Amino acid sequence: MPLADALDIPLQRLKARYEASPLPAFLDWWFGQLRALLPTRWQAALRTERAWIEIEPVPGGVDLRLPGQAGEAREAVRADSAEAVAEIVERFAHEARDARRVLLLPPARVLRRILPLPAAARERLQSVLGFELDRQTPFKPDQVHFDAKVRGEEAGGKQIRVEIALVPRSRLDEALAALGPLAATLDAVDVRGLEGRRAGFNLLPPERRVRRANLWLWINTGLVVAFLLLLLLAMNQTLANREAALARLDAEVETQRAEARAVNQFRRGLDEAVEGANFLAVRRAQQPIMADLLNELTRLLPDDTYLERLNFDGERVTMHGLSSQAAALLTLLQSSQLLRDPSLSGPIQPDQRAGKDRFQITAGYGPQTEEKAGAADARR
């Protein structure tokens, strides 16, 4: 199946749905309102209505109605032969290069009927009428050329009113043969209605219609392609802008992180310096002044006691000396506010040469805190 035939049914469905919707009327009104705001020259350039050259056989010749400035039909021009018709059309071609050409058949040669059909037939109207033609008319589908238009809907929307127009193939061939070479340039075959206007049908077979380049189709296609390209460019630019903004944000975050790390490092160094200073201050506060310690020992030790050596090791002090009453020294030193837990670190040995006892006492020294005082009380 050719691609065009495969797409024909879906396109017909879309076209039928579009024509049945209120969108065409709204778009016509909207674009008309927009055009009315433009200068007259621009309105003529943007007018999308197709101009038609109407060719209508009449007794004694052919009437031609040529389009005017805005697409309206002018007064009819009478031609008495097909050659004269072709000459007039060609002479007018420079004024209406895009004008379509339509042959209007006499109403007596065209059969028109209103048929009620189910609403579902709207999407495949031509196919449905091809099956219904022999039941609704005295002709078979292969004997006539026909076209149909939806003229309205019944109450409830379950049925539609379809007007069908058909012409026997032999009569259409005769009418086209009478035009001579001009028949090959026709875009449509229609019939004039009772109100004097075209009925809106096209009885000319698709294969016999002149092929024209649809300028507006190409323009609209180009606009759609340009719109899609611009949309892609805009989306790409949006993504690029977001990536650039994200990169800037990452750079700012990394800068702030580096600053935060530097601040934390500085704070850590400052805390360590403060802690070291406090440690030294605490240690200095806890360490007794040597002059006070010597003054305390001078006050507590008897006059017959003297020290040979005084050693300091951490918070411990070791005293080596001679005394006449070495055993009583522990009791005297226990009353000191600077010394803690004095005890003999060796036996008391008599010194015959000095006439005294040699002793070695070890004690803690420094201010006595509440915890140390409580522990000392508990031991006592």
64 in the same domain as 143: yes
234 in the same domain as 221: yes
Closest CA to 104 of 20, 196, 28: 196
Count CB atoms within 10 A of the CB of residue 379: 7
- Out of 212, 229, 252, a domain closes at 212
219 in the same domain as 207: no
Residue 301 in any domain: the answer is yes
Residue 342 in any domain: the answer is yes
163 in the same domain as 68: yes
For residue range 44-90, what is the model confidence (pLDDT) as tens digits?
A: 656 555 677 888 887 777 777 776 554 455 566 777 776 777 777 77
Spatial distance between the Cα atoms of 234 and 225, rounded to a whole number of angstroms: 14
219 in the same domain as 357: no
Spatial distance between the Cα atoms of 46 and 43, rounded to a whole number of angstroms: 5
Residue 32 in any domain: the answer is no
238 in the same domain as 307: no
Residue 30 in any domain: the answer is no
On whether the CB atoms of residues 165 and 199 are closer than 8 A, the answer is: yes
Residue 330 in any domain: the answer is yes
Mean pLDDT computed over every residue of the chain:
79
357 in the same domain as 304: yes
270 in the same domain as 207: no
pLDDT at 251: 93
Spatial distance between the Cα atoms of 67 and 99, rounded to a whole number of angstroms: 8
Q: Which residues of the chain have pLDDT under 50?
A: 1, 70-71, 371-373, 375-376, 378-380
Spatial distance between the Cα atoms of 142 and 208, rounded to a whole number of angstroms: 16
Tell me the helices (H) and strands (E) count for the chain, helix number first.
10, 13
On whether the CB atoms of residues 151 and 122 are closer than 8 A, the answer is: no
CATH number where 105 lies: 3.30.420.380
Q: Which residues pair with 115 in a beta bridge?
A: 162
pLDDT at 7: 61
pLDDT at 1: 45
pLDDT at 264: 92
- Out of 234, 260, 286, a domain closes at 286
CA angle, 148 then 138 then 57, to 5°: 60
Residue 14 in any domain: the answer is no
78 in the same domain as 223: no
- Out of 286, 317, 332, a domain closes at 286
Count CB atoms within 10 A of the CB of residue 163: 17
Spatial distance between the Cα atoms of 251 and 256, rounded to a whole number of angstroms: 9
Residue 371 in any domain: the answer is yes
Residue 40 in any domain: the answer is no
339 in the same domain as 249: no
pLDDT at 21: 74
Domain count, the chain: 3
For residue range 152-168, what is the model confidence (pLDDT) as tens digits?
A: 877 666 888 888 899 99
148 in the same domain as 189: yes
pLDDT at 380: 47
Q: Which residues pair with 78 in a beta bridge?
A: 63
Q: What is the SS3 assignment for 21?
A: coil
164 in the same domain as 303: no
Quote the domain boundaries for residue 102. Answer: 49-212
CATH number where 320 lies: 3.30.1360.100
Q: What is the pTM of this model?
A: 0.50
